[in-house]
């Protein structure tokens, strides 16, 4: 259903990702890059936690923003970028476990406005628990106007 405008999106994402200082700080890795679909994984460490020993809500928002934004990026023309217009994250369960799986997808691809969603799953032993869900407005921009 999505139109592919940029055949090189995988390589472009991998190059750009290496420059993401904040994602390096937290240690988030992309594990799947497909048209309109991004997955990533974070091994949970003490540094990701708030005072109760669960993942900080801002960390969860960071993963959601990242996979939703990259999902949008796979679907914009070559040479264009995306910036987050707005992001809403709903929190369902405390964020604990061995790791978090973040899945981002494009629900509606537009010329300027892309609507994306993200799911955050905590891996607890053999279980996966949906701990948060997000929706975002991702705005297509020219390279020189990128956020």
Binding site for its own copies (CB under 8 A): 16-17, 19-26, 46-52, 54-59, 61-66, 69, 81, 83-92, 94-95, 107-108, 110, 112-113, 115, 130, 133, 135, 137, 139, 146-147
Minimum separation from the CB atom of position 87 to its own copies (A): 5
Minimum separation from the CB atom of position 49 to its own copies (A): 5
Partners of 93 in beta bridges: none
Minimum separation from the CB atom of position 8 to its own copies (A): 16
Closest to its own copies by CB, 25 vs 32, is: 25
Minimum separation from the CB atom of position 124 to its own copies (A): 16
Minimum separation from the CB atom of position 125 to its own copies (A): 19
Count of CB atoms within 10 A of residue 67's CB?
A: 29
- What is the SS3 assignment for the chain? CCCCCCCCHHHHHHHHHCCCHHHHHHCEEEEEEECCEEEEEEECCHHHECCCCCECHHHHHHHHHHHHHHHHHCCCCCCCEEEEEEEEEEECCCCCCCEEEEEEEEEECCCCEEEEEEEEEEEECCEEEEEEEEEEEEEEECHHHCC
Closest to its own copies by CB, 54 vs 74, is: 54
Structure tokens of 105?
């997808």
């Amino acid at each position: 259903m999505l139109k592919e405008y940029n055949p090189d999106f995988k390589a472009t994402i991998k190059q750009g990702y290496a420059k993401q200082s904040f994602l390096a700080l937290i240690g988030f890795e992309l594990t799947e890059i497909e048209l309109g679909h991004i997955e990533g994984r974070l091994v949970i460490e003490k540094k990701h936690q708030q005072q109760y020993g669960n993942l900080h809500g801002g960390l969860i928002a960071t993963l959601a923003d990242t996979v939703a934004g990259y999902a949008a990026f796979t679907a914009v023309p070559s040479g264009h970028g995306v910036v987050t217009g707005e992001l809403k994250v709903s929190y369902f369960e405390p964020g604990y476990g061995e790791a978090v799986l973040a899945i981002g997808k494009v629900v509606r691809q537009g010329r300027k406005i892309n609507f994306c969603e993200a799911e955050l799953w905590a891996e607890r032993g053999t279980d996966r628990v949906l701990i948060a869900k997000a929706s975002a407005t991702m705005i297509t921009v020219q390279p020189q106007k990128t956020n």
